[in-house]
Amino acid sequence: MEHAEQPRVAAALAALAATLGGDSVTDVQRLTGGASLQTWRFCLQSSAGGQTLILRRRATTAPSAATALPLATALPLATEASLLQQAHQAGVPVPRVRTLCTASDDLGEALIVDFVAGETLGRRIVAGEAFAAIRPKLASQAGIALARIHAMNPGAIHALPHLSAAETLARYEDIHRRIGAVRPVLDAAFRWLAGPATEAGPTALLHGDFRTGNLMIDPARGIMAVLDWELAHTGEPADDIGWLMVNSWRFGATDKPVGGFGELADLLAAYEQAGGSPPPISRVRFWQALGSLKWATMCLMMYDGRASSAEPSLERAMIGRRVSECEADLLALMQAGL
């Protein structure tokens, strides 16, 4: 089905063809997903043939409070472009930036990057037969990518936010209290993590959403691109590692703690070999638990928005139901200890 904005977006991209090094634009298609950012795929035609590119564009209407990440503001696309360029220079696999659109391009806040082929669907990556041979290598590849990200210079990127453990815990607890849900497991988890949250670790540039689903995976070569940098910030390196270990991002492959595809020891060994200083495992476990607690709060927020909306969303209800999975994860983590 053609998206309502398709003719206008197609016309604006056609006007950019020469700037992008082509003659014309064809096959403009809006891809699924994205609450605050739209993703469009199109083909740039030239005498040398066609080339597939990706347009990332800020939605013209703001997402509802129920679909937006709580207290997490997406970075401007100009900042994301700077991050991608620096990441490329640091050896992190990312899509190449082609152009940052201006107001005269009639696309609003928008960024055009190269298309990267591969798979992002978690269940296919962690369970598909096509990925069986590459899965044992993915944890090491993730460790290398994370070490290179954490070595990037945050001072070269304009106005990146900083999120400490204490600030993160406090923000999500505040949302939990405002929702007013009675969830004893979550109450216990907030109390359990309060002490370790006061500890201060080293600071680095973080991707902010490094997980299965935001990694473009090729069945033969592995991680081809680290996607979706809109939540990048500075903080503890263990934050990125712990987020990748959250059980919700294992897509059913619960026996593989890293993304549903690998082992923490392999990730940390590769992280160190790539020049990173591996955080203590106890700190990774802390951020894994905090990640599960964050996602539980997001699930509650989705359900609360669905229940109070004039147009109830089945998707929000389904996501809201997953809070029980997070509670089971948190109980297991509390029992095991940090």
pLDDT tens for each residue of 118-146: 999 999 999 999 999 999 999 999 999 99
- 248-295: per-residue pLDDT in tens? 999 999 999 999 999 999 999 999 999 999 999 999 999 999 999 999
Residue 69: per-residue pLDDT: 42
pLDDT in the model for residue 147: 98
The verdict on 228 and 267 lying in the same domain is: yes
Q: Show which of 70, 91, 114 is a domain's final residue.
A: 114
Are residues 104 and 128 located together in one domain of the fold?
no
Residue 1 lies in a domain: no
Residue 142 domain flag = yes
* End-to-end Cα, the chain, rounded Å: 49
pLDDT > 90: percent of the chain: 82
- What pLDDT band is residue 27 in, cutting at 50, 70 and 90? very high
Distance CA 179, CA 201 (A): 30
- Boundaries of domain holding 217: 122-336
Q: Give CA–CA dist 15/10, Å, rounded.
A: 9
Strand partners, 45: 24, 50
Cα–chain-centroid distance for residue 26?
Answer: 29
Helix (H, G, I), strand (E, B) or coil at 100: strand
Residue 32 is predicted with a pLDDT of 76
Q: Are residues 84 and 127 in the same domain?
A: no
pLDDT tens-digit series, residues 192-240: 999 999 998 899 999 999 999 999 999 999 999 999 999 999 999 999 9
Alpha helix positions (H), 33-134: 77-89, 122-127
61 and 91 inside one domain: yes
Q: Output the domain CATH number for residue 162.
A: 3.90.1200.10
Q: Does residue 306 form part of some domain?
A: yes
CATH number of the domain that residue 11 is part of: 3.30.200.20
Judge if 65 and 165 occupy the same domain: no
Which of 114, 139, 170 represents a domain boundary (last residue)?
A: 114
Domain count, the chain: 2
